[in-house]
Structure 1
Amino acid sequence: MSQYDVIIIGAGPGGYYSAIRAAQLGLKVAVVEAKHLGGICLNWGCIPTKALLRSAEVYDHMKHASAYGLTAEKFGFDIGAVVKRSRGVSGQLATGVGFLLKKNKVDVIWGRATIKAPGKIAVAAAEGAPKGALGGGDYEAKHIVVATGARPRVLPGLEPDKKLIWTYFEAMVPEIMPKSLLVVGSGAIGIEFASFYKTMGADVTVVEVLPQIMPVEDHEIAGIAQKQLTKQGLKIFTETKVTKLDKGADSVTATLEFKDGKTQQITVDRVISAVGVVANVEGLGLEALGVKIERGVVVTDAYGRTNVPGIYAIGDVAGPPMLAHKAEHEGAICVEAIAGKHPHAMDKLKIPGCTYCHPQVASVGLTEKKAKDAGYDIKVGRFPFIGNGKAIALGEPDGLVKTIFDKKTGQLLGAHMVGAEVTELIQGFVIAMNLETTEQELIDAVFPHPTLSEMMHESVMDAEGRAIHI
């Protein structure tokens, strides 16, 4: 029977990342995977969707070439080629994950794991094992880390059938481009697909049951994003439910129910169900071992430890925010603690969130409402993209950078952005929050010109009434 210091169940971002980190710390490590190295994020989520959105961005630039003094004629797209590029990007990175695991001497066990007891797992062999992977059998480890991720949530009446009603799996590999589309749910997944399909020419309707799209984002930022998306032609209904889906031969008729109780029917080629995800806690033997599960996720402490000694959980399976970068960082904390190091516990308020629609949305920390609800006396700074030279030169003058500070201490409580490339800019504020940088220290920092990052500086200065370019 093979014995390890650590066995990690799941080779998604949290799993492979923590496996490599554990190996770096001198531990003997194996990772168990049943489908694909890199998990959902790399194969069916974060990465391939960004490849699709990049194709859409380039296509949109071609449509507006004249705005840049350019001429583009007889351009179009081949959806098969767009999808092929996206799958190629994922394939390249999945191969890279395999190389990194091998380089770090992490054993890959190919199959489905069940925890039989603390320190013992049984693996049922699965097809498609990569070269050099171990197979089914019994394995032992002092520490077992569950990193099994999540899957699309299914609501009654909205069950995906892979033909007319899609999850993100089917939405990423369309055989033909639908002429019309209904997206149910306006979180990051829903809005990104809505943005992609609209840019590629589909007539897109988005339905959200809550009062605003992108419900976790700052209300003001979400409002600006909705205004821009609507301007592009997206139809957006908030405080609206999809109460029924009637499937035809090659279309779906959806019944929408509005806040006032009135209903409306729309017929579309396809429906994307993007109503969140559910943690993969089943079939692992957790319940039999008494591992505590609440609200569908494994309960852990700040270091990934469950209530059963020797069993840990990280990433989506350990609860929100269900983001790849949260899983990676959580995994590193977990295995560093196992190795006897003393890592800082995860501070979930300092985990950034990004949505890669057009315009992009990015944030970290408290929203304005949550800061007020928490009892802070706040100062808010704002700076619009229209006041920034680089944004105007890029042809991207729509957007806003918003910063929230504690008036008493100058502490940065939150930063929220909508506009071009904000998913790259947000990390500046993440670093500032981690370093406990004050408002004055940010004002004293020199930002390069001409850059979009200058808007971050101006937003901070605006909180003091010192913005220069508005």
Structure 2
Amino acid sequence: MSVEQFDLVIIGSGPGGYVAAIRASQLGLKVAIVERERLGGICLNWGCIPTKALLRSSEIKHYMDHASAYGLAAEKISFDLAAVTERSRKVANQLNSGVKGLMKKNKVTVVEGVAVLKSATSVQVGERTLEAKNVIVATGARARELPHLKADGERVWTYRHALVPPAMPTDLLVIGSGAIGVEFASFYKDMGAKVTIIEMLDRILPVEDSEISAFVEKSLKKQGMTIRTKSSVDKIEVTKDGVTATISGETQTFSHVIVAIGIVPNTENLGLEALGVALDRGHIVTNEWGQTNVPGLWAIGDVAGAPWLAHKASHEGVVAVEKIAGDSHAHPMDKSNIPGCTYSRPQVASVGLTEAKAKEAGYDVKVGRFPFIGNGKAIALGETEGIVKTVFDAKTGALLGAHMAGAEVTELIQGYVIARQCEATEAELMATIFAHPTISETMHEAVLDAYGRVLHI
């Protein structure tokens, strides 16, 4: 049995693992990365990227369905679900090939197979033994399933099944209203399905600011979705013709169900327990650098806990590798500056504290709001359904949080993220020139509104 020596071995090639491998190579480390399925992990193959490809198709269909609003005429719109899915898979495959190219370019050794930790510095992959001074676990997570309802890929789906549907749902039940649930609800509604969203908590998108949640819920209901909060799925029976669900005592029939109730970290069968690695509800416990309680063993991304976001995993990978390499620029990540995005229609984006969380933390706050209906570009685009909300510390002018819903806000949020990273106050933001006409002007107006200087409403 051969033993191969490296400076760093990374288990998992998702956005955390492969980015960590690239940064490690840049810093002069000899790196191996182990992957049991496809390079790029869930994000590139079954998550972030292919879902956005699907949503782009449904967005275009939505615009075509409403061509008359733009002075255009179109015949009855139809679609080929298999072709829509195929395009999504092609996008994922293109990026998978891109990661392969990046690994080759950066001289990262790719090892295919299932990894098992023999020690904090030894990884077994089949007949190969990979030895390294440090090992990073970046194994990600998978969809959580209901204990009384197992996904079958026919009538009951997780996100993986929803990406490659065997048939178009006619009446879809979505259990869970986080980003994944709302995105798939948005896609299938725009493609023509009747959609019902069930949420146990008192509002959808519960991690978002309550005003944004209410705004999006109102929008989705206006589109024709049924949304039931403070509700639970008590029982589900699957037949060859559909699904019968008992929801808070009421029985309804659906063609398909998507279960979107969170994730489960992939920590099983890695050998973590034998090494005494500390876990918290299945997630690997780490410090601010990604170090576990076992010297030489690190963890990043979904397997290391919330927020379960690809860009968080990538940045964690860079932080861990720079610490391992002794880079002088290494510094821990400020999780409060991690943006969150939901690519539904309308889109949702946020960073920092909600108004409620800011008040709970003891801040005296100034809050600004600006609706898209007051923005010239939004009116010209026919995208007047949107809002921007800012939360400032009344004493210091620090931007505590920013929350947005509307067209392309997932692209706009980065302006506020940079502002927080650079510790900008209301003074710098108000003095910043925003190009006209752009939707980004709503961001400026929301800042001005917090200080009684709003201009266009």
Counterpart of 1:129 in structure 2 is none
Counterpart of 2:253 in structure 1 is 267
Contact 1:171 1:272 in 2 (8 A): yes
* 1:266, distance to aligned residue in structure 2 (A): 1.0
| Equivalent position amino acid for 2:92 in 1 | S
Aligned 1:121-270 pairs, distance under 5 A: 121-124=123-126, 136-257=127-248, 263-270=249-256
- Indicate the percent of aligned positions where both proteins have the same amino acid: 63
What is the rounded CA distance, in whole Å, between the counterparts of 1:90 and 1:185 in structure 2? 25
Counterpart of 2:62 in structure 1 is 60
| Equivalent position amino acid for 1:213 in 2 | I
* 1:173, distance to aligned residue in structure 2 (A): 0.5
Counterpart of 1:418 in structure 2 is 405
Q: Deviations over 1:403-430 (max 9, x none)?
A: 0000000000000000000000000000
Counterpart of 1:99 in structure 2 is 101
What is the rounded CA distance, in whole Å, between the counterparts of 2:152 and 2:93 in structure 1? 25
1:116 to 108, 115, 118: 118
* 1:154, distance to aligned residue in structure 2 (A): 1.4
What is the rounded CA distance, in whole Å, between the counterparts of 1:68 and 1:174 in structure 2? 32
Question: What secondary structure sits across from 1:181 in the alignment?
Answer: strand
Q: Deviations over 1:266-307 (max 9, x none)?
A: 100100000000111111101100010012100001111000
Q: Deviations over 1:225-270 (max 9, x none)?
A: 000000001100000000100111120000001xxxxx21110010
Aligned 1:301-380 pairs, distance under 5 A: 301-342=287-328, 343-380=330-367
Asked if 1:443 is matched to 2:434, the reply is no
- With normalisation by structure 1, the TM-score equals 0.96
What is the rounded CA distance, in whole Å, between the counterparts of 2:314 and 2:167 in structure 1? 35
| Equivalent position amino acid for 2:366 in 1 | K
Contact 1:157 1:243 in 2 (8 A): no
* 1:160, distance to aligned residue in structure 2 (A): 1.1
Gaps of 5+ in 2: none
* Structure 1 vs Structure 2 CA RMSD: 0.7
* 1:74, distance to aligned residue in structure 2 (A): 3.3
1:84 to 83, 86, 90: 86
Counterpart of 1:300 in structure 2 is 286
Counterpart of 2:263 in structure 1 is 277
Asked if 1:396 is matched to 2:383, the reply is yes
* 1:163, distance to aligned residue in structure 2 (A): 1.3
Gaps of 5+ in 1: 125-135, 258-262
* 1:28, distance to aligned residue in structure 2 (A): 0.2
- With normalisation by structure 2, the TM-score equals 0.99
| Equivalent position amino acid for 2:423 in 1 | E
What is the rounded CA distance, in whole Å, between the counterparts of 2:17 and 2:119 in structure 1? 20
| Equivalent position amino acid for 1:207 in 2 | I
* 1:344, distance to aligned residue in structure 2 (A): 1.8
* 1:158, distance to aligned residue in structure 2 (A): 2.4
* 1:47, distance to aligned residue in structure 2 (A): 0.2
Asked if 1:26 is matched to 2:28, the reply is yes
* 1:156, distance to aligned residue in structure 2 (A): 1.3
Q: Deviations over 1:360-385 (max 9, x none)?
A: 00000000000000000000000000
Q: Deviations over 1:141-162 (max 9, x none)?
A: 1000000000001121122122
* 1:92, distance to aligned residue in structure 2 (A): 0.3
Question: What secondary structure sits across from 2:114 in the alignment?
Answer: strand
> Structure 1 residue runs of 4+, over 6 Å off?
none
* 1:34, distance to aligned residue in structure 2 (A): 0.4
Contact 1:303 1:333 in 2 (8 A): yes
Question: What secondary structure sits across from 1:31 in the alignment?
Answer: strand
What is the rounded CA distance, in whole Å, between the counterparts of 2:247 and 2:445 in structure 1? 43
What is the rounded CA distance, in whole Å, between the counterparts of 1:238 and 1:344 in structure 2? 41
* 1:75, distance to aligned residue in structure 2 (A): 2.3
Asked if 1:408 is matched to 2:395, the reply is yes
